[in-house]
């Protein structure tokens, strides 16, 4: 039965496909390999999630070494959900990528580009699937190094400095994470997450464990771009190739959020993190700052990719806000928003990729009047914007609903009001796009452009459709997220 | 048996209405007449009880629920969409009929909604649809009125939404059942309902907005918003005592202002407030007889008020005039319009053998049965007042009295047909009320045509008729006046007060505006300095400073965790 090896295949297939891309040295063949692998990984991930939902936890022993000595791959509803998100976005983005990459990356580098993408995919899936703390660090480095390469391939020369800055910050973050893991290893003598969860409570008030928590919090916050550690993100997103921006924005920060949840709730335990250490209070302040400051900055941005990058920082604020309410509802909101924002931002960045194909730099000025010449793309951006704002019948509404619910559960009326207020900021920055695209006299270039090719439009619209579909049918997203949240909070799922 | 979860009746009209602008000529006419019939069929195919539920988030949404009360309202709404559509067939503006059908469809959706969320959604669509109906008249006055109308209704919607959210937070259920006003959110819900019913102190939006719509638009407007509000009051708050008082206030408010008014369609708009007051009082009485009375009165009122407004609309359409002082003597050249107007006027006055008589008397009877002498007396007095302001005043000043010299013919065939149809209904229900009684939510034991009922009603009507002609010369002569109402406060007083507060004078006002502008500008500049593209928060930072932040954060985390 090949299905029992799914947890290993999830990582190994893209890892092996990457050198294959380099060997074939052919742009088209490399793309085909990456495409096939991406879709295969989606198939594997959905299989894993389905099994995790029905059978509970899947434990896979790599090389048949029994945990905690050997490396264990462990899939439960929490990371099963993440695997599906990452591989789904990967598959859609890969389908989209050919025309976009042809336009933005020199043809001689295509096979390297796709190889880096596959490494990145492999790393992200590996972080999610593994149950071993050191393994997490290894996969984190694989995905990060690949991401630096992908970002540096952007056409703008500033992509190089952006990538360099991300490299420095990412490395510091990874170092902090490995220091944290090291401190935990020091105190418990184990690297297996499930085993750590057993042993950490016995030593939880020792200084090394508290230091480990601090290092892990800061290290992961860097990777997930929690305000004020987000400074690497806007440039990285703005200058990377369109397809990379969409993929990284929809997956990389989400995987980092998963790491945070995994360490907070599985390893350290909900009661320790939420009640004995003041994590929620700090997260609350930083989340609110992210929501308001980053959204306000987004309002003033002229470059649309940069604008959406700042909006991502703000949305990450919503995600961590759910954690800071310290309740199962809040955690559900976090998980749902993780998915929803992944899909929404993926859709928006792909659509910007469609525009970039026609007008190169997508700015408020360059897309004036583009609603007339690229109606499908522009309308997709409007729908994605609805989801970002949280209009009912879009996914954005569902997660904000749970967030408000979590705030009300705690009796924090003011927080509910703040959540709604910050949504208004999203209205403002999305309105600037709508105004430029529909109500302004066309810019000279925007007048002559034609609609993007179907190979790009269809995948982008698939994500837009997902925004609407999951806004109406919440069984999958909310159902799984609720189960996962209860699992994390320590209740029976 | 559970029904479908899809509100077919509502969707037929809403989606059909949206398609109307793309149709022309005979196809459009067919669609206009067919859609309400299809909707009526769907209304009657909904079985009793809650339909299938749709799970959304943690709630069970019941998009469709059928019972006698909702079916009664949905039926008359569909009939109204048909009659109004027929009357408006020659309306040139494509937007109006489309908006009116969306409006009618969402009203049907609202009365058949099984839960508060569905109700709220249709409630808001109604607000948008009706605003567009006002707006599509195309005049500046209509545009301004539609904005004021929208503001009031959005405010009502916010009240309702806050109430629903509170209700859900407190009870955890979105079911729309009878509420006993024991929780504060229910008061908000009641307030939201009353805004749409035209309850005090915000009754003024009805005469402010409705007469500004086109000759055919007003016909639609008179039917749906206020009657949907009556329906939700009957379902949600039957027997709430406060409604009796509010209803009585509305009744007399409507009479007094209608007597003072000069614009024929504003007279009729005020009389909507008055008539809805009867229904709200019925809801407040809350007995089976009162509920039956209020529901049947809503049914008959929709028909005769539409008839009156069709008659007034025909006059407006043919003459372009709407003030009583400009009209008169039209019965010679518009005999059919006059006759139909008189049938409507007799119905609204509850003359025996008309539809008003068989429905309104039930509400008075309920007051009498409950031994509420004062309420009964006031209702009786109000019945006389209705005859004065709508029963005689409207037809007298428009069709008789002095000769204005106008000789317009009767309106086009479709408008004549619609009026004949509704006149027929008014008299048919009055003569043979049993089919209507069979539709009512509770079994009817009431017999309208007893000697006592007929005699007392005739006495009342004849004496008030006498009073009208006695007072005609001294008190009721039409002059070119504008009646001040509550809307004056937000239309005129608000801006005036704002100016007065800053010391009077236009220059000071300008100064205030400039100051505000400067403050806002500086706040904007401050934001821009920090958040703008070159601002501290948006700049690309040197890598070193980023790392410094990391160190600061790590240190503070360590301190916090160790504490």
Task: Say if the Cβ atoms of A218 and B553 lie within 8 Å.
Answer: yes
What is the share, in percent, of chain B residues with pLDDT greater than 90?
Answer: 29
Question: Could you write out the DSSP letters of every residue in B399-421?
Answer: HSSS----------HHHHHHHHH
Question: What are the pLDDT digits (tens) for A143-178?
Answer: 999 999 999 988 888 888 889 989 999 999 999 999
Q: Which of B169, B171, B543, B559 to mutate to test the interface with A (most CBs of A within 10 A)?
A: B543
| A338 interface with B at CB cutoff 8 Å | no
CA distance B364 to B356: 12
E-only strand ranges, B54-158: 54-56, 59-61, 65-66
Q: How many domains does chain A have?
A: 2
Residues A31 and A112 grouped into a single domain: yes
Question: B560 and A169: CB-CB below 8 Å?
Answer: no
Residue finishing a domain among A254, A277, A300:
A277
Instruction: Tell me how far apart the alpha carbons of residues A81 and A96 are, in angstroms, rounded to a whole number.
Output: 23
What is the average per-residue pLDDT within B144-166? Answer: 84
pTM: 0.69
- The secondary structure of A70-122 as a DSSP string is S-EEEE-HHHHHHHHHHHHHHHHHHHHHHHHHHHHS-GGGHHHHHHHHHHHHH
A482 has a chain B CB within 8 A of its CB? no
Tell me if B560 and A213 make a contact (CB, 8 A cut-off): no
Clarify whether residues A374 and A333 are in a common domain: yes
> How confident is the model over B534-552, as a mean pLDDT?
79
Partners of A180 in the β-ladder: none
Closest residue in A to B560 (Cα–Cα): A278
Q: Tell if the CB–CB gap between B57 and A478 is shorter than 8 Å.
A: yes
Residue ending a domain, among A277, A309, A339, is: A277
Residues A318 and A224 occupy one common structural domain: no
Looking at the complex, report in whole angstroms how far the Cα of residue A274 sits from the nearest Cα belonging to chain B. Answer: 12
Rounded distance between C-alpha atoms, residue B490 and residue B40, angstroms: 40
Same domain, A204 and A351: no
Q: Check whether residue A263 and residue A379 sit in a common domain.
A: no
Q: pLDDT-based confidence at A392, cuts 50/70/90? A: confident
Instruction: Give the pairing type, strands A58-61 and B59-61.
Output: unpaired
Chain A contacts of B563, Cβ < 8 Å? 278
B528–A234 CB contact, under 8 Å: no
Determine the average pLDDT of the residues in B406-428. 91
Is A215 near chain B, with CB under 8 Å?
Answer: yes
Taking one residue from A and the other from B, the number of pairs with CB-CB distance under 8 angstroms is: 87
Same-domain status, A270 and A303: no
Residues 6+ apart with CB under 8 A from B340: B307, B310, B311, B419, B420, B422, B423
Rounded-to-integer distance, Cα A133 and Cα B208, Å:
70
| B550/A475 Cβ within 8 A | no
Structural domain range at position A43: 1-277
Highest mean pLDDT: which range of A60-69, A172-181, B442-451: A172-181
Say whether residue A157 is in contact with chain B using an 8 A CB cutoff. no
- Both A222 and A364 in one domain: the answer is no
Looking at the partner chain, which of A164, A232, A278 has a beta carbon nearest the beta carbon of B560? A278
Distance from CA of A11 to the nearest CA of B (A): 31
State residue A348's pLDDT score: 93
Query: Could you tell me which residues of chain B have a Cβ less than 8 Å from any Cβ in chain A?
Result: 55-57, 169, 527-528, 531-533, 535, 537-538, 540-541, 543, 546-547, 549-550, 553-554, 557-558, 560-563
pLDDT at B517: 77
Is B169 in Cβ contact with A408 (below 8 Å)? yes
In percent, how much of chain B has pLDDT > 70?
A: 92
> Nearest CB to B549: which of A161, A164, A228?
A228
The mean per-residue pLDDT over the stretch B58-66 comes to: 84
Percent of residues, chain A, with pLDDT higher than 90:
34
* Chain B residues in contact with A214 (beta carbon < 8 A): 554, 557-558, 561
The domain boundary residue, chosen from A277, A293, A321: A277
Among the partner-chain residues B533, B547, B561, the one whose CB lies closest to the CB of A300 is B533
Q: How far is the C-alpha of A406 from the C-alpha of A326, rounded, in Å? A: 9
Distance CA A100, CA B95 (A): 43
Say if residue A286 is in the same domain as residue A228.
no
b/e map of B278-305 (b: 16 or more CB within 10 Å)? bbbbbbbbbbbbbbbbbbbbbbbbbbbb
Are A470 and A493 members of one domain?
A: yes
Q: Are A252 and A360 in the same domain?
A: no
pLDDT tens per residue, range A190-218: 888 888 888 888 887 888 888 898 899 99
Q: How far apart are CA A247 and CA A87, in angstroms?
A: 10
Whose CA is closest to A87, among A25, A9, A31?
Answer: A9
Backbone φ and ψ of B3, nearest 5°: -90, -175
Mean pLDDT to the nearest integer, A347-368? 88
Q: Which one is predicted more confidently, B523 or B84?
A: B84
Same domain, A201 and A328: no
A386 close to B (CB below 8 A)? no
Given a cut of 80, whether residue A438 has pLDDT beyond it is no
CA angle A336, A337, A343 (to 5 degrees): 100
What local confidence, expressed as pLDDT, does residue A193 receive? 87
Clarify whether residues A351 and A335 are in a common domain. yes
Q: Which residues of B touch A482 (CB under 8 A)?
A: none
**Of A9-23, A125-139, B170-184, which gets the smallest average pLDDT?**
B170-184
């Amino acid at each position: 039965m090949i299905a029992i090896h799914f947890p290993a295949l999830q990582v190994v297939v893209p890892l092996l496909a990457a050198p294959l891309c380099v060997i074939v040295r052919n742009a088209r063949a490399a793309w085909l390999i990456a495409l096939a692998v991406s879709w295969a990984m989606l198939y594997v991930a959905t299989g894993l999630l389905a099994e995790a939902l029905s059978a509970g936890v899947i434990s896979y022993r790599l090389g048949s070494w029994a945990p905690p000595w050997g490396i264990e791959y462990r899939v439960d509803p929490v990371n099963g959900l993440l695997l599906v998100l990452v591989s789904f976005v990967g598959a859609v983005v890969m389908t989209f990528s050919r025309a976009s990459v042809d336009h933005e990356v020199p043809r001689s580098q295509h096979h390297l580009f796709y190889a880096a993408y596959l490494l990145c995919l492999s790393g992200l899936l590996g972080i999610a699937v593994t149950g071993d703390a050191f393994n997490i660090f290894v996969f984190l480095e694989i995905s990060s190094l690949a991401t630096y390469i992908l970002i540096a391939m952007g056409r703008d020369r500033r992509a190089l400095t952006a990538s360099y800055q991300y490299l420095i910050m990412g490395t510091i973050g990874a170092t902090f994470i490995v220091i944290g893991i090291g401190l935990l290893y020091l105190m418990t003598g184990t690297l297996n997450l499930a085993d750590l969860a057993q042993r950490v409570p016995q030593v939880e008030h020792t200084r090394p464990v508290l230091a480990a928590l601090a290092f892990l919090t800061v290290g992961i916050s860097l990777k997930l771009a929690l305000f004020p550690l987000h400074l690497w993100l806007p440039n990285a997103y703005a200058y990377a190739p369109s397809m990379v921006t969409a993929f990284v924005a929809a997956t990389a920060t989400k995987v980092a959020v998963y790491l945070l949840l995994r360490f907070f709730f599985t390893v350290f335990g909900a009661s320790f993190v939420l009640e004995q250490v003041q994590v929620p209070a700090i997260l609350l302040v930083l989340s609110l700052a992210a929501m308001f400051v980053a959204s306000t900055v987004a309002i003033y941005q002229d470059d649309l990719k940069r604008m959406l990058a700042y909006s991502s920082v703000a949305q990450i604020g919503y995600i961590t806000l759910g954690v800071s309410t310290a309740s199962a509802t809040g955690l559900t909101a976090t998980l749902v928003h993780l998915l929803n924002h992944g899909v929404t931002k993926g859709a928006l960045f792909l659509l910007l990729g469609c525009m970039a194909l026609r007008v190169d730099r997508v700015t408020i000025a360059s897309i004036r009047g583009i609603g007339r010449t690229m109606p499908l793309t522009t309308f997709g951006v409007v729908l994605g914007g609805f989801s970002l704002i949280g209009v009912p019948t879009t996914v954005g509404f569902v997660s904000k609903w749970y967030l408000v619910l979590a705030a009300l559960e705690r009796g924090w009326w003011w927080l509910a009001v703040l959540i709604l207020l910050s949504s208004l900021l999203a209205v403002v920055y999305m309105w600037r796009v709508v105004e430029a695209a529909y109500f302004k006299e066309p810019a000279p270039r925007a007048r002559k452009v034609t609609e993007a090719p179907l190979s790009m439009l269809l995948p982008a619209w698939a994500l837009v459709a997902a925004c609407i579909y999951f806004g109406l049918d919440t069984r999958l997203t909310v159902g799984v997220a609720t189960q996962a949240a209860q699992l994390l909070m320590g209740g029976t799922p | 048996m559970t029904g479908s979860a899809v509100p077919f009746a509502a969707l037929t009209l809403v989606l059909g209405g949206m398609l109307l602008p793309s149709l022309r000529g005979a196809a459009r006419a067919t669609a206009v007449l067919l859609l309400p019939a299809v909707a009526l069929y769907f209304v009657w195919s909904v079985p009793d009880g809650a339909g299938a539920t749709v799970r959304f988030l943690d709630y069970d949404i019941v998009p469709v629920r059928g019972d006698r009360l909702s079916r009664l309202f949905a039926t008359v709404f569909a009939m109204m969409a048909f009659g109004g559509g027929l009357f408006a067939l020659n309306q040139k503006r494509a937007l109006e009929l489309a908006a009116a059908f969306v409006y009618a469809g969402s009203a049907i959706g609202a009365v058949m909604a099984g839960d508060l969320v569905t109700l709220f959604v249709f409630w808001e669509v109604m607000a948008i649809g009706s605003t567009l109906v006002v707006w599509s008249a195309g005049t500046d006055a209509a545009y301004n009125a539609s904005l004021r109308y929208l503001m009031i209704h959005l405010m009502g919607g916010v009240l309702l939404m806050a109430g629903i959210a509170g209700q859900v937070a407190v009870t955890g259920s979105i079911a729309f059942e009878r509420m006993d006003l024991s929780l504060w959110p229910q008061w908000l819900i009641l307030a939201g309902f009353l805004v749409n019913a035209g309850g005090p102190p915000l009754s003024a939006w009805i005469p402010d907005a409705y007469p500004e719509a086109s000759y055919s638009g007003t016909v639609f407007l008179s039917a749906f918003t206020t009657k949907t509000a009556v329906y939700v009051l009957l379902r949600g708050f039957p027997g709430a005592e406060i409604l009796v008082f509010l209803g009585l206030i509305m009744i007399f408010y409507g009479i007094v202002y209608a007597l003072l008014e000069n614009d024929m369609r504003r007279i009729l708009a005020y009389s909507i407030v008055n008539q809805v007051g009867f229904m709200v009082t019925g809801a407040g009485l809350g007995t089976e007889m009162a509920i039956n009375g209020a529901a049947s009165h809503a049914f008959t009122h929709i028909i005769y008020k539409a008839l009156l407004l069709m008659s007034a609309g025909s006059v407006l359409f043919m003459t372009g005039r709407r003030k009583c002082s400009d009209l008169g003597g039209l019965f010679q050249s518009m005999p059919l319009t006059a006759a139909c107007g008189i049938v409507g006027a007799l119905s609204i006055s509850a003359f025996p053998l008309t539809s008003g008589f068989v429905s309104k008397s039930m509400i008075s009877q309920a007051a009498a049965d409950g031994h509420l002498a004062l309420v009964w007396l006031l209702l009786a007095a109000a019945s006389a007042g209705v005859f004065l302001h709508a029963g005689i005043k409207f037809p007298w000043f428009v069709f008789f009295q002095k000769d204005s010299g106008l000789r317009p013919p009767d309106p086009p065939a479709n408008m004549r047909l619609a009026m004949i149809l509704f006149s027929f209904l008014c008299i048919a229900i009055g003569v043979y009320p049993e089919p209507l009684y069979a539709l009512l939510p509770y079994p009817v034991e009431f017999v309208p045509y007893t000697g006592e009922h007929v005699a007392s009603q005739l006495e009342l009507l004849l004496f008030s008729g006498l009073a009208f002609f006695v007072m005609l010369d001294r008190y009721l002569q039409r002059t070119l006046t504008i009646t001040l109402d509550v809307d004056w406060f937000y239309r005129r007083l608000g801006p005036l007060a704002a100016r007065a507060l800053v010391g009077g004078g236009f220059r000071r006002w300008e100064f205030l505006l400039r100051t505000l502008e400067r403050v806002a500008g500086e706040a904007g500049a401050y934001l821009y300095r920090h958040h703008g593209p070159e601002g501290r928060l948006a700049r690309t930072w040197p890598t070193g400073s980023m790392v410094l932040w990391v160190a600061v954060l790590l240190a503070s985390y360590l301190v916090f965790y160790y504490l």
